[in-house]
Amino acid sequence: MAEPTFLDRIEQTPDAAALRGASYRLLALTAGDTCVDVGCGAGHAVAELIDARIKAIGVDADPAAVAIAQARTPDAVFHTAPSDQLPLEDESVDGYRAARLFHLLADPLPTITEARRVLRPGGRAVLVGQDYGFLLIDSTDQDLTDVILLGLESRSVAPRAARSFRDWLLDAGFHDVEVVVHNQVVTDHRTLVPQLQTAATAAVDKALITRADADNWLAEQSTRAHTDRFLAIIPTLLAAATK
């Protein structure tokens, strides 16, 4: 198997597994149903759905991710394709799942339209994503922290996309929309070091803060970790709807 990516390693954590489980419950599929996982990444969800006797199809625009996913589950069906051009027939799946996808899209509507196209009547769509405007990191300088988190938002095309899931699904003609919030509480500083460094550097690159500000903030977060005072809360929104 190819070398695991950072996101692949994240997907192997217990919290990520719990989040995937929440998405499966919202899909409400039964054995023998067909589900497409769009933006499937390293294929963890596809593998778990197949273990549950769901006919899972993985789609991702990144061929390297598809290669990792195919190696993980050789018998599964995978396609390399964009989220708004799925290689599937009309009304061919019972479930549609897309996680950590919409913050990457400048225009979500073609992808939402495509989700409705491939779903059978009565099929379920589940969208999963973080809204970066809701991230919480404790600090003695909360104003500086908020600015640094704006730097992190600047790294995504649509960092607050998840708060619009309900609107998009309703506008596309879905009904019975349900929104659930899954909160990840992180007290192990090591888990988020790469993201903290990325956020601080992005804020410097955007001229929101100085390099000295960034270094002092990172040092403070490290000190908090050494005294068991590190705290981050990461909300993820799940929106489920029926066609």
Distance of CA 93 to the CA centre of its chain: 21
Render pLDDT for 189-208 as a digit per residue (tens, 0 to 9): 998 999 999 999 999 999 99
User: Hunting for tokens 């996982």 — which residue is that?
Assistant: 37
Report the pLDDT value the prediction gives residue 9, as an integer from 0 to 100: 64
Burial class, 148, CB count within 10 angstroms (exposed 0-12 / middle 13-18 / buried 19+): buried
Please count the residues of the chain.
243
pLDDT band at 6 (very low <50, low <70, confident <90, very high): low
Task: Answer yes or no: pTM beyond 0.75.
Answer: yes
Judged against a pLDDT cut of 60, whether residue 213 lies above it is answered with yes
Give pLDDT, residue 7. Answer: 59
CA gap 202, 217 in Å, rounded: 13
Strands 55-60 and 77-80: parallel
Bridge-partner residues for 234, per DSSP? 184
DSSP the chain: -PPPPHHHHHHTSHHHHHHHHHHHHHHT--TT-EEEEET-TTSHHHHHHHHTT-EEEEEES-HHHHHHHHHHSTTSEEEE--TTS-S--TT-EEEEEEES-GGG-S--HHHHHHHHHHEEEEEEEEEEEE-GGG-EE--S-HHHHHHHHHHHHTTSSSTTGGGGHHHHHHHTT-EEEEEEEEEEEE--HHHHHHHHHHHHHHHHHTTSS-HHHHHHHHHHHHHHHHTT---EEEEEEEEEEE-
The structural domains of the chain, ordered by start, are 6-242 (3.40.50.150)
Q: What is the pLDDT of residues 148-183, one digit of tens each?
A: 999 999 999 999 999 999 999 999 999 999 999 999
* Average pLDDT for the chain: 94
Which pLDDT belongs to residue 3? Answer: 44
Q: Which residues contact 149 (CB under 8 A, 6 or more apart)?
A: 132, 135, 137, 199
* Tens of pLDDT, residues 61-110: 999 999 999 999 998 999 999 999 999 999 999 999 999 999 999 999 99
Q: Which residues contact 227 (CB under 8 A, 6 or more apart)?
A: none
- Residue 61's pLDDT is 97
Please check the confidence at residue 1 and state whether its pLDDT lies above 60: no
Residue 192 tokens read as 């988020």
Q: By percentage, how much of the chain surpasses pLDDT 90?
A: 92
For 96-153, write each residue's pLDDT tens digit. 999 999 999 999 999 999 999 999 999 999 999 999 999 999 999 999 999 999 999 9
Residue 50 confidence (pLDDT) above 70 = yes
